[in-house]
């Protein structure tokens, strides 16, 4: 009888150890995955935070003496416009953490800025403002679309599995020079 009890105790101990080890491994794996998701989420939040700052800058518009609107970034001349464009390119550089539709709109806005930068190269401040007026509607439309996309993305930011599944290579984007 004692032999049976000892055998059962040893078997129970071995089984308990095996089950405990398996559960421990699973829990470690789950902890690792959760930590990974936290880091990815932090990266995504950082990228969107930077993008939100760019959108906020684009919300500032002014009226010229002729009552035509233009974005304030054109008020400070070519150098400040180029700095803003550099910041947008930095936001695009973080596009791996941003939803593809939003990245596409960021690239469209960058394309508009690329066209503008070609027109204001070595231009006077008055010329920079005139070009800003010319592109005001396009920039406003793109900014509004970008803001809407960011709002939608932020709403679903926590769904990392869906984000990672949808993230795919869209290939190279070309810029229309006209």
| Mean local confidence (pLDDT), 37-57 | 90
| Mean local confidence (pLDDT), 130-150 | 95
Binned at pLDDT 50, 70 and 90, residue 18 comes out as: very high
CA 154 – CA 175 distance, rounded (Å)? 28
172 occurs within a structural domain: no
Q: Which residue has the higher pLDDT, 144 or 166?
A: 144
User: Each residue of 84-94: pLDDT tens digit?
Assistant: 888 888 888 88
Q: For the residues of the chain, what is the DSSP string, one character each?
A: -HHHHHHHHHHHHHHHHHHHHHHHHHHHHHHHHHHHHHHHHHHHHHHHHHHHHHHHHHT-EEE-TTS-EEEGGGTTHHHHHHHHHHHHHHHHHTGGGS-HHHHHHHHHHHHHHHHHHHHSTT--HHHHHHHHHHTHHHHHHHHHHHHHHHHHHHHTTT-HHHHHHH------------
Closest by CA position to 62, among listed 119, 133, 117, 114: 133
160 occurs within a structural domain: yes
Tokens of 50: 């930077």
56 occurs within a structural domain: yes
The count of structural domains within the chain is 1
Percent of the chain with pLDDT over 70: 93
155 occurs within a structural domain: yes
Tell me what pLDDT residue 178 has: 54
52 occurs within a structural domain: yes
Q: Are residues 41 and 48 in contact, defined by beta-carbon separation less than 8 angstroms? A: no
Domain extent at residue 118: 44-166
pLDDT at 149 over 90: yes
pLDDT at 174 over 60: no
99 occurs within a structural domain: yes
173 occurs within a structural domain: no
Candidate from 16-20, 85-89, 117-121 with smallest mean pLDDT = 85-89
pTM score of the predicted model: 0.75
15 occurs within a structural domain: no
Closest by CA position to 109, among listed 60, 72, 58: 58
């Amino acid at each position: 009888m004692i032999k049976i009890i000892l055998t059962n105790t040893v078997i129970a101990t071995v089984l308990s150890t095996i089950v405990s080890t398996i559960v421990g491994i699973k829990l470690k794996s789950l902890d690792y995955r959760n930590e990974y998701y936290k880091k990815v989420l932090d990266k995504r939040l950082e990228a969107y935070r930077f993008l939100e700052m760019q959108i906020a800058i684009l919300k500032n518009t002014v009226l010229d003496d002729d009552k035509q609107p233009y974005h304030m970034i054109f008020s400070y001349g070519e150098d400040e416009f180029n700095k803003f464009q550099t910041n947008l390119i930095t936001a695009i550089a973080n596009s791996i953490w941003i939803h593809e539709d939003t990245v596409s709109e960021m690239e469209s806005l960058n394309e508009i800025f690329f066209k503008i930068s070609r027109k204001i190269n070595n231009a006077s401040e008055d010329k920079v403002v005139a070009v800003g007026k010319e592109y005001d509607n396009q920039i406003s439309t793109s900014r509004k679309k970008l803001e809407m996309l960011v709002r939608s993305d932020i709403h679903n930011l926590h769904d990392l599995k869906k984000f990672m599944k949808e993230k795919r290579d869209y290939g190279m984007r070309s810029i229309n020079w006209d």
